[in-house]
Amino acid sequence: MQMREFGSTGAKVSPLGFGSMRLPTREGTQADANTPFSDIDVEGSVAMIRHAIDSGINYVDTAYNYLGGNSEKIVGIALQDGYREKTFLATKSPAWLYKSEEDFDRYLAEQMDRLQTDHIDMYLIHSLNGGSWKRTLRNKALDALKRAQEDGRITYAGFSFHDDYELFEEILNAYDWDFCQIQLNYCDTEHQAGIKGMKKAAEKGMGVVVMEPLRGGFLVDVPPAVQQVFDSAPVKHSNVEWAFDFLWDMPEISCVLTGPTNPEVLKEDIALAKQSHPHMMSDEEKQVLEKAAQAYHESAPIPCTGCNYCVEYCPQKLTIPYNLLAYNLRFIYDDLEMARDYYHNEVPKFGKQADLCTGCGTCEEICPQHIKISEWMPKVCELLD
């Protein structure tokens, strides 16, 4: 596996990173913030993380809020028995929860305890947008971040981002960052930080970590219109390969995160990563992806990636992403019955349906995609109930 420069830090990271937000349950489904620790497939998750490291992946990513805090605990278990020394460990501080100047240090101490380590290699201020950035500044978290770097509790300082380019540039100039984490894929080149933000960060000598390369899985089982583009292309790749190669082609990108829910997916991603290198795509292949992106945007009305951040903060505990997915299915596959079947038979397996939404807007404050969820949920009910 060809290692890549982590900006100007001198560190070298694997082109593929293990993201720990979508770990499996014992029943083989995807765990979320409400899944009890006892229901998560801890043994299987630990085995996957260790297999990834044994296969050459040296970047393992988690966060304070992933799986209700259980993700950090599982990563901490996985990195015992010598695996911690083989890994750049990345986790994130929950900026949207800051209420006092003591919170940064309090959360960091709790995270190091969960992760069973005395330092974090890559530490990020998590999910920065207009609101959480104000909380970060108001509670002097950047001063605390600098102290944590100086005393060795963290090595490299970064942030993950979910807002528009103007705010991204403001944050870039507010601290001597080592790296950033942004959402990027062939459908989201101008969304949030986008390609422009990625290049700006690289120009400043920062490492760039990419999340949502498969757009929450929607670039795996793509809409028929997108699949038609790929099927008619003169060059043949799997849907996953198209998505990853688009990112690995760019030398400015240090690491692309995958969030496997089973060993088979992980093995496929590792195999692709071992073939990756900068400038790996031809002009012809890039044109195919431009056509695929256009076809995708014309298919799905709601840009939900299924990150599940909203679920943890919904007072009604609605499984919002699954409700939005049901709505999208109607238009992606042009099949109302398919969408209704998913809404009535599958969504209840994960939690509550859209009809219980009160329109409070709490979810919108945390949504990385800035989706007007309170406006979409009544539309879900109207179409599918």
> Which residue ranges make up each domain of the chain?
4-297, 309-384
Contact status, residue 385 vs residue 368, Cβ threshold 8 Å: no
Element (H, E) at 206: none
- Report the alpha-carbon distance of residue 213 to residue 233 in Å, rounded: 21
Contact status, residue 211 vs residue 160, Cβ threshold 8 Å: yes
- Residue 153: which of 126, 115, 182, 127 has the closest Cα? 115
Task: Output the six-digit token pair for 58.
Answer: 């040296």
Tell me, what's the pLDDT at 303?
A: 86
Task: Output the six-digit token pair for 312.
Answer: 């943890």
Per-residue pLDDT of the chain (385 residues; tens, 9 = 90+): 999 999 999 999 999 999 999 999 999 888 888 899 999 999 999 999 999 999 999 999 999 999 999 999 999 999 999 999 999 999 999 999 999 999 999 999 999 999 999 999 999 999 998 889 999 999 999 999 999 999 999 999 999 998 889 999 999 999 999 999 999 999 989 888 999 999 999 999 999 999 999 987 889 989 889 999 999 999 999 999 999 999 999 999 999 999 998 999 999 999 999 999 999 999 999 999 999 999 988 888 898 877 778 887 899 989 899 999 899 989 888 889 999 999 998 888 778 999 999 999 999 988 888 899 999 999 999 999 8
- Report the alpha-carbon distance of residue 252 to residue 196 in Å, rounded: 11
Work out the end-to-end distance of the chain between its first and last CA atoms, rounded to an integer number of angstroms.
49
Contact status, residue 30 vs residue 22, Cβ threshold 8 Å: yes
What phi and psi, each to the nearest 5 degrees, are found at residue 329? Answer: -60, -35
The amino acid occupying position 4 is R
What phi and psi, each to the nearest 5 degrees, are found at residue 93? Answer: -90, 130
- Residue 2: which of 217, 283, 272, 203 has the closest Cα? 272
Tell me, what's the pLDDT at 258?
A: 95
The 3-state DSSP composition of the chain as helix, strand, coil percent (nearest 5) reads 50, 15, 40
Contact status, residue 142 vs residue 136, Cβ threshold 8 Å: yes
Task: Output the six-digit token pair for 76.
Answer: 């901490």
Task: Output the six-digit token pair for 67.
Answer: 């799986």
Tell me, what's the pLDDT at 108?
A: 98
Tell me, what's the pLDDT at 304?
A: 87
- The pTM for the full model equals 0.86
- Report the alpha-carbon distance of residue 128 to residue 141 in Å, rounded: 12
Q: CB burial class (10 A; 0-12, 13-18, 19+) of residue 107?
A: buried
The amino acid occupying position 37 is F
Element (H, E) at 184: none
Contact status, residue 48 vs residue 266, Cβ threshold 8 Å: yes
Hey, which bits of the chain come out as E strands?
4-5, 12-13, 16-19, 59-61, 88-93, 120-128, 154-161, 179-183, 207-211, 255-258
- CB-based contacts of 131, cutoff 8 Å, min separation 6: 96, 365
Which class in CATH covers the domain with range 4-297? alpha beta
3-state secondary structure of 58: coil
Tell me, what's the pLDDT at 378?
A: 95
Contact status, residue 233 vs residue 242, Cβ threshold 8 Å: no
- Report the alpha-carbon distance of residue 346 to residue 340 in Å, rounded: 10
Tell me, what's the pLDDT at 313?
A: 84
DSSP of 242-272: HHHHHHHT-TT--EEEE--SSHHHHHHHHHH
